[in-house]
Chain A
Amino acid sequence: MSIHPDQTQPDASAASRPARPAPRSSSAIDLAIRYGFLALLLGLVIFFSVFANGFAGPRSAVFIFQSVAITGILALGVTCTLVVGGFDLSIGSVATSSMMLSAYMMVVLEQSAFVAIIACLAMGAFIGLINGLLIVKTKIPDLLATLGMMFLLVGLQRIPTEGRSIAVGMTLPDGSTAEGAFSPLFLSLGRHRFDFMLENLLPAPVIFLIVIGILVWGFLELTRHGRLMYAIGSNERAASLTGTNVNNYKIMAYMISGVLASVGGMLLAARLGRGDIASGTNLLLDAVAAALIGFAVLGAAKPNAFGTAMGALFVGILLQGLTMMNAPYYTQDFIKGFVLVLALIFTFSLSARKAGSH
């Protein structure tokens, strides 16, 4: 499956090429495509700063970042799979499984934070590997393979505790009490705040988001591997004919996605201080929405890390701003959907017109 709107351009380097000089008549459209979404983002910030009490200021900026940090990290993983023309539906459940696993390692098995982190990362990579193998070796379509993995994980995460959420001092299935506790080091991953301009301003998950965002962006845009992945997404056969090991890159994309999802799950566990049974569906949908909105940023019309980060931020600003203005909860899904549709219009219809005008 591929949802790249620029299927017609097999040239992989089209992505990094500077914009071609456009004829005068379409320059307005070009501008709208390139900067429309960022302008909308700026407009939103100004709107909420004026109308939402307490919106303007570093503290709200930070908690908006915090509210999107986890979905943002997941979305960056999805972006990597979208780049190779795939899709990972299992990220939400990988994240919640990783949340359960980290809690299980520390609370039930009484392991250190380090062991828990390694176990979660290994699980994420392993699930990504399985996803990738299912897709490239057994030729199961990506949506179906990762859908199956999603259900599998939703069930698997409940088996060790027989469906119980994991909290310090919980009663285990055999009737005894769990003796372990979350290590303070692990909790600080989700709760520590760094001094930045103001004291205790920047929460650790935001740092994770920014660092991971830069890494994924650098990997996709600046390295040969990243460009080859875009090439696979554009035209798998052509990439393969030029000697690219398509299968390896695809598996790698799913492994990146799995590892990033497990990082998101650990941050969630650290913030909540417990392992919550959850399907992760909301995490999946929010992450996918952010990645798809990202298509529209700077007129990229393709998955890209910067766009994904902006997409996540856009949703975060909207939701937090609306909450501050006392908008009821059901408007939030509506708004998310509306923004997504708008972004898809930007991406598909406007960039198709751009392509047509040349």
Chain B
Amino acid sequence: MTSLENQIRNSARKFLEDGQVSCVIGYERDARGRARPAFIVKADDTERLIWDSDCSLNLVNYLHSRKSPPGKDQPIPKTAVVVRPCDVRAIQLLINEQQLKRENIKIIGITCAGTDINHQLRTECEFCQERIPLIYDVLVEPEKPVELPASQDAYADIEEMESWSSEERFDFWTKEFDRCIRCYACRQACPGCYCFECVAEQVDPHWTSIALEVPEKMFFHVMRAFHLAGRCVGCGACEAACPMNIPLGKLNRKIAKEILELFGYHTGDNSENLPPLVCFNPDERLKI
């Protein structure tokens, strides 16, 4: 047990014993030795909680199931959640979109040294300058502070792709999307994808067929990326959940890059500013 795990368990135990929350959402080890989400409701079960670089899912996603009262005249349940700095931005986003209330969540923020996908450090983590969550109730700190990476060009791989020809990019994405099995794991893992009925499954109007063809897959992924424009926090949960290892983060990061350039907006900086695509400025004239 590492010191980080110890701190997580202690704060989870305290939250549960004091009755501040009815559930702590964290990570536990599954039978195959991988990290999976754990929902702890008893103080004694907090010993199951873990933290390592395999914890690459965004647990904020599970707050959606706890945002409304379980029954009539009952209060909204209070929940504690173990989050990385990028995940906290998703909490800010959901507060902004009036999905969550800050007072119903206890944030166990982790000083994050980066997480892995398929035993490789995530692309975002290679450049990430934000190792401490913006907001938290308890901060889990290592003995030594996390060293910040020297390289700050977070969009180097996107810029490289931009320099390709249109055909090269088309071939790249055709090949990547061809592998997609349309399991929608990317959508399920995403805290920002919480529509009751997704366009991919809507029957009336029937936007897209269930065919496993590239145009249909491209439609789904382009639309998903666009619905997350200005809302994606870059937590990489979609990539971590993808069974076919499609670099979905590239689409989201391309949009994040453009949003930052055009509107100077970085998702989750606070819970007040609206994402740029749902508001407007009458004086601006954009190149379209």
The yes or no verdict on A and B being binding partners is: no
Which A residues are within 8 Å of any B CB, using their own CB? none
